[in-house]
Homo-oligomer: A and B are copies of this chain.
Amino acid sequence: MTYCLGIITKYGLLMASDSRTNAGVDHVSTYLKLFDFSCPGERVVLLSCSGNLSITQSVINELRRDIQAGEVENLHSLHSLYEIARYIGAITRRVQERDRPWLEKDGIDCACNFLLGGQIHGQEPELMMIYSQGNFICATPETPFLQIGETKYGKPILDRTLTFDTSLDVAAKCALLSIDSTMKSNISVGPPIRIVLYERNSLKISHQLEFCIGDPYLMEVRRLWEECLKQGFANIPDIDWQQQ
């Protein structure tokens, strides 16, 4: 599995992902799952992916090839993130159509999902999830985050912490904790964790970091968080069993 998330707030975008891929427990590898297709000053285009690795790598390759070949439709030429999402959806459909019959013969799941985040000069930042079927949805101020892959473990912390008014620094910590919680509960999600922060209207990546195993900040976050949970837990009064 994989776990990627995107957060959009009025201050900009935050994208984060783990780096583990597995085909069964005896084939675990580390792959980059967060890709930057930006043209600084004109557009920021960030893409993360989950699901069948051969499918997502094919899609990423086709996206790169179209840019290099100067195709009419490519990530640098299309005029809006809506058009870019449709274009990525179309490529996904094409790759699926090509490989699916062969994968299905052996019962291999060829599903995949993408998170697309970015901004094009003169337009608002957007965050979208593109499904395996090629269709897509946008994050909104009411639901300012989207997740793909192994999403459930890390959702409670997002539900309790994020709003559209959250600062990007807080969103970054929240994303890190969400991924770290998932890594603790599910071995199919693993380090390094990659985080990219984009400030609205800057039209270039503001910050990016990779947190490897043993990273001092990540270990400190984990220690503080566990301490907080234990302390908070201790502060909750015991159940009064006689109350009813």
Contact call A173/B238, Cβ cutoff below 8 A: yes
State how many angstroms separate the Cβ of A156 from the closest Cβ of chain B: 5
Expressed in whole angstroms, the Cα–Cα distance for A220 and B243 within the complex equals 14
Expressed in whole angstroms, the Cα–Cα distance for A157 and B240 within the complex equals 21
Task: Determine if A165 is an interface residue (Cβ-Cβ < 8 Å).
Answer: no
Q: How many copies of this chain sit in the oligomeric assembly? A: 2
Contact call B239/A152, Cβ cutoff below 8 A: no
State how many angstroms separate the Cβ of A106 from the closest Cβ of chain B: 23
Q: Give the residue among A172, A181, A195, A229 with the most B Cβ atoms within 10 A.
A: A229
Contact call A210/B244, Cβ cutoff below 8 A: yes
Given A153-B155, A153-B156, A155-B185, the answer on whether A224 and B235 have CB atoms closer than 8 Å is yes
Contact call B244/A235, Cβ cutoff below 8 A: no
Expressed in whole angstroms, the Cα–Cα distance for A157 and B236 within the complex equals 14
Closest B residue by C-beta to A156: B181
Expressed in whole angstroms, the Cα–Cα distance for A181 and B241 within the complex equals 21
What 1/0 mask marks residues of chain A from 203 to 235 whose CB sits below 8 Å from any chain B CB? 000110110000001001100111111111101
Chain B residues with CB below 8 A from A170, complex form: 233
Expressed in whole angstroms, the Cα–Cα distance for A195 and B244 within the complex equals 13
State how many angstroms separate the Cβ of A198 from the closest Cβ of chain B: 12
Number of chain A residues whose Cβ lies closer than 8 Å to a Cβ of chain B = 50
Chain B residues with CB below 8 A from A182, complex form: 156
Closest B residue by C-beta to A169: B238
Contact partner, A217, options B207, B235, B239, Cβ 8 Å: B239
Task: Determine if A160 is an interface residue (Cβ-Cβ < 8 Å).
Answer: yes
Chain B residues with CB below 8 A from A233, complex form: 161, 170, 173-174, 177, 228
Given contacts A161-B229, A172-B239, 13 further A-B contacts (CB under 8 A): A153-B153, A156-B181, A159-B185, A160-B226, A169-B239, A177-B233, A206-B241, A210-B244, A217-B240, A225-B232, A228-B232, A231-B232, A232-B232
User: Please, could you name 20 A-B residue pairs with CB atoms under 8 Å apart, sorted by A?
Assistant: A150-B152, A152-B153, A153-B155, A154-B156, A155-B185, A156-B184, A156-B185, A161-B230, A169-B239, A195-B239, A207-B239, A207-B241, A209-B244, A217-B243, A225-B232, A227-B232, A228-B231, A228-B233, A231-B232, A232-B232
In the A-B complex, the 9 residue pairs with the closest CB atoms: A228-B232, A152-B152, A207-B241, A156-B181, A169-B238, A155-B185, A156-B185, A159-B185, A152-B153
